[in-house]
Structure 1
Amino acid sequence: MELVQIAQRAEDLERASRFYSRLLGADPVATFDPPGLVFFSLGSTRLLLDRVAPSSFIYLRVPSVREAIEELRAEGIEITSEPHVIFRHDSDDLGPAGHDEWQGFIKDSEGNTVGLVSWEAAED
């Protein structure tokens, strides 16, 4: 089984499309308005922005949470949780062994919380 799509609430599709285009570094792959749907490709998973979807809590992997948060802060994006280490991966079960998992959280243009995640070599 594989995750195909996740939907995120977007009351203002244009505003949300601009936000996610910037965040993901890619333009939407499809827009259908009406009924009010915008699709982004995240590898083999689609992110659907939908006016009637409930708010989802999504996590996006970035090369460096610390750098991403600073870039987003400089652009005026609301930071709800500063970058911090969640845990160290001792095995490859949830991420690469020997790496710390960093997370930080922001608010998107629609008020949804988005988690940013990076795996960085563990610092001893």
Structure 2
Amino acid sequence: MGEIAGEAVGLIFRFVVHVVMEIFGEILVKGLGYIVLRPFSKSIDPDGLAVLLTGLAMWALIIFAIVWGIQRPLMRLAVGNPASKTISPLSTRSHAAALRKHHPPAWLSNVA
């Protein structure tokens, strides 16, 4: 009886993974690739390799833009630079050194 239940669970799991991959592959990746390539060619194959590669490249670009767009403001907040300044490793180190020089840690002020 346990063997039959295990096979049923495996079958359901494979079905769910197949549905998720079908949605991801067909709609999100190929759909985006088709939307991008359609203005350039009226005879584009919706199931072609060009559509797949274009969709993957566009999703990589979207993910990169999101990560970069989130990372930049967070870096500015962490370093304390105004939004108009660019962040470089040198300015980060010099800013941190200036903070340590003028504002020593609280535990250091108690040692005398």
CA radius of gyration, larger in: 2
TM norm structure 1: 0.20
TM norm structure 2: 0.22
Bigger RCO of structures 1 and 2 (CA < 8 A, at least 6 apart): 1
- The structure in which a higher percent of residues are strand is 1
